């Protein structure tokens, strides 16, 4: 679906967001027809929304492959027995697990996959020559969530990339950890986000500190203390400093702001491998425990964060690389000559590899412009009687106010 006529596109924009939605991301994504609310924290993706989600996931996939990640797909249904090995069935993250029964058996819906993947790799990894190993999946996760009030920022059902790395030495792990940090910065930058690498607590995944990628945002649920210089940041929960204190690195005054954590990376050490007997035989012939890291980034949460950061009163402002379409072509009035000029431009843009949404609806210019602003495609092209008189179309960027006229033959 690289191009589409708006008369055929499912679904329509809405004048108002549902009253029970307080978050900007849910309000705008619902109104613009990107998502549909099934329950609190549970949203279906309509065609526009799924296009954005897939683009984000493809960016993630590319960056994961670049650092040696191999994609797999584990299951949602998880047997109780592997969770009992680590003791997490009913504590820590296990408390947030949805559980159901089949006959006498209890089955969990995966809120995360450390247990499952440790079980898989202990069946295959025998020797140091089998390591390192980097496996990731892009999959739907489930967590009971009493605070599901932030749209796609905190879902009961949400899309996530989780990467797990397996190493024969702490040194090797540390090198890879740095590579993942770089990959995460690349991903977020390509999605139009600037993230602050922040120290945080282990949240039941590990005893030590971990790192979160935090994006400053008014709609955020977290608070971070950070140096504007960018070389120090701690999650408010664990922070030893307050706003105004001096940065321990550069001495500048620290700030404190609201921020969503968008990704996190955990040095898991040997916690899971030890509990689940995941060993390898090292060069020296000795049996050793596998060292692990895990690295999460929510793809649906990234989508929500982008909307929280990139919007104005009129609607969403998508960054180029994850916009559902490149160009929103709008035809004003249904006169045959305007229609045929618009159709020609529609085809030319397709030929040039553009992804085009073509507003061929029988609506007023005002309604069309309002919908275009709400949907938020980066480039708007308008074809009207007035522009055609000048043998031109009008081009406007969503994040700018000025328009300009371009000769018909030069529309690309």
Report the alpha-carbon distance of residue 150 to residue 220 in Å, rounded.
Answer: 9
Instruction: By CB under 8 A, tell whether 142 contacts its own copies.
Output: yes
Closest distance to its own copies from the beta carbon of 357 (Å): 13
Q: Which stretch binds its own copies (CB under 8 A): 39-47, 221-229, 242-250, 310-318?
A: 39-47
Q: Which is nearer to its own copies, 53 or 239 (CB)?
A: 53
Helix (H, G, I), strand (E, B) or coil at 180: helix
Q: Which is nearer to its own copies, 123 or 351 (CB)?
A: 123
User: Residue from 53, 307, 356, 411 that binds its own copies (CB under 8 A)?
Assistant: 53
Give every CB contact of residue 17 below 8 A, 6+ residues apart in sequence.
26, 27, 28, 30, 31
Structure tokens at 389: 């008189």
Closest distance to its own copies from the beta carbon of 25 (Å): 17
Closest distance to its own copies from the beta carbon of 81 (Å): 10
The interface with its own copies within residues 92-131 (CB under 8 A) comprises 98-100, 102, 107, 109, 116, 120, 123-124
Maximum alpha-carbon separation in the chain: 82
- Strand runs (DSSP E) across 254-391, as ranges? 255-258, 263-269, 279-281, 287-289, 291-298, 311-312, 315-316, 327-331, 356-359, 379-383
Closest distance to its own copies from the beta carbon of 71 (Å): 6
> Which has the closest alpha carbon to 68: 172, 210, 158?
172
Cis bond upstream, residue 132 (ω within 30): yes
Buried b (16+ CB within 10 A) or exposed e, 299-337: bbbbbbbbbbbbbeeebbbbbeebbbbbbbbbbbeeeee
Report the alpha-carbon distance of residue 59 to residue 184 in Å, rounded.
Answer: 10
C-alpha distances out from residue 89 to 82, 104, 111, 122, 208, Å: 8, 16, 11, 20, 21
Closest distance to its own copies from the beta carbon of 391 (Å): 33
DSSP code per residue over 314-336: TEE---GGG-S-SEEEEE-S--H
Q: What is the CA radius of gyration of the chain?
A: 24
**Cα–Cα–Cα angle for 190, 196, 200, rounded to 5 degrees:** 130
Q: Which is nearer to its own copies, 144 or 179 (CB)?
A: 144
Q: Give the number of residues in contact with its own copies, rule: CB under 8 A.
A: 46
Closest distance to its own copies from the beta carbon of 73 (Å): 4
Report the alpha-carbon distance of residue 299 to residue 60 in Å, rounded.
Answer: 8
Residue with tokens 């300009």: 404
User: Residue from 57, 114, 157, 162 that binds its own copies (CB under 8 A)?
Assistant: 157
Q: Which is nearer to its own copies, 242 or 347 (CB)?
A: 347
Q: Which stretch binds its own copies (CB under 8 A): 140-148, 188-196, 204-212, 404-412?
A: 140-148
Q: Which is nearer to its own copies, 109 or 260 (CB)?
A: 109
Closest distance to its own copies from the beta carbon of 260 (Å): 21
Which run of H or of E encompasses 3?
strand 3-5
User: Residue from 22, 44, 95, 412 that binds its own copies (CB under 8 A)?
Assistant: 44
Q: Bridge-partner residues for 196, per DSSP?
A: 214
The interface with its own copies within residues 256-275 (CB under 8 A) comprises none
Closest distance to its own copies from the beta carbon of 292 (Å): 15
Closest distance to its own copies from the beta carbon of 271 (Å): 21
User: Residue from 26, 32, 135, 317 that binds its own copies (CB under 8 A)?
Assistant: 135
Instruction: By CB under 8 A, tell whether 140 contacts its own copies.
Output: yes
Q: Which is nearer to its own copies, 107 or 338 (CB)?
A: 107
The interface with its own copies within residues 66-95 (CB under 8 A) comprises 68, 70-79
User: By rule CB under 8 A, what string of x and - marks binding of each residue 359-378 to its own copies?
Assistant: --------------------
Burial class (CB in 10 A: 0-12, 13-18, 19+), 271: buried
Handedness of CA 343, 349, 323, 230 (dihedral sign): negative
Closest distance to its own copies from the beta carbon of 52 (Å): 11
Residues that bind its own copies (CB under 8 A): 1, 8-12, 36, 38-39, 42-47, 50, 53, 65, 68, 70-79, 98-100, 102, 107, 109, 116, 120, 123-124, 133, 135, 140, 142, 144, 156-157
């Amino acid at each position: 679906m690289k191009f589409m006529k708006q008369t055929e596109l499912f679904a329509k924009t809405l004048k108002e967001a549902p009253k029970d939605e307080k978050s900007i991301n849910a309000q705008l994504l619902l109104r613009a027809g990107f998502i549909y609310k099934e329950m609190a924290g549970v949203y279906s993706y309509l065609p526009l929304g799924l296009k954005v989600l897939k683009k984000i996931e493809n960016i993630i996939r590319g960056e994961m492959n670049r650092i040696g990640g191999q994609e797999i797909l584990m299951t949602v249904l998880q047997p109780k027995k592997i969770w009992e090995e680590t003791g997490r069935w009913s504590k820590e993250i296990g408390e947030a697990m949805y559980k159901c029964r089949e006959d006498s058996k209890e089955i969990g819906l995966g809120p995360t996959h450390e247990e499952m993947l440790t079980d898989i790799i202990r069946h295959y990894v025998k020797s140091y020559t089998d390591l390192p190993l980097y496996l990731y999946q892009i999959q739907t996760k489930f967590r009971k969530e009493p605070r599901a009030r932030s749209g796609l920022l905190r879902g009961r059902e949400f899309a996530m990339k989780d990467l797990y790395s397996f190493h024969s030495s702490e040194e090797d792990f540390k090198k890879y950890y740095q590579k993942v940090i770089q990959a995460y910065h690349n991903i977020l930058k390509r999605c139009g986000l600037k993230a602050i690498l922040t120290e945080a607590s282990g949240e039941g995944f590990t005893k030590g500190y971990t790192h979160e990628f935090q994006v400053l945002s008014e709609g955020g649920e977290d608070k971070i203390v950070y140096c504007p210089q960018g070389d120090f940041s701690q999650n408010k929960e664990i922070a030893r400093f307050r706003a105004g204190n001096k940065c321990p690195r550069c001495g500048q005054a620290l700030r404190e702001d609201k921020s969503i954590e968008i990704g996190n990376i955990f040095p898991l050490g040997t916690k899971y491998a030890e509990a689940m007997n995941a060993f390898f035989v090292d060069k020296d012939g000795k049996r050793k425990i596998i060292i692990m890291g895990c690295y999460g980034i929510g793809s649906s949460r990234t989508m929500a964060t982008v909307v929280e950061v990139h919007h104005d009163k009129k609607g969403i402002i998508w960054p180029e690389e994850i916009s559902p379409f490149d160009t929103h072509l709008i035809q004003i009035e249904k006169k045959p000559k305007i229609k045929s000029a618009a159709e020609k431009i529609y085809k030319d843009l397709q030929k040039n590899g553009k992804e085009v949404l073509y507003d061929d609806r029988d609506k007023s210019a005002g309604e069309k412009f309002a919908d275009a602003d709400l949907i938020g495609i980066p480039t708007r092209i308008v074809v009207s009687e007035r522009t055609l008189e000048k043998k031109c179309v009008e081009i406007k960027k969503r994040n700018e106010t000025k328009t300009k006229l371009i000769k018909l033959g030069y529309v690309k």
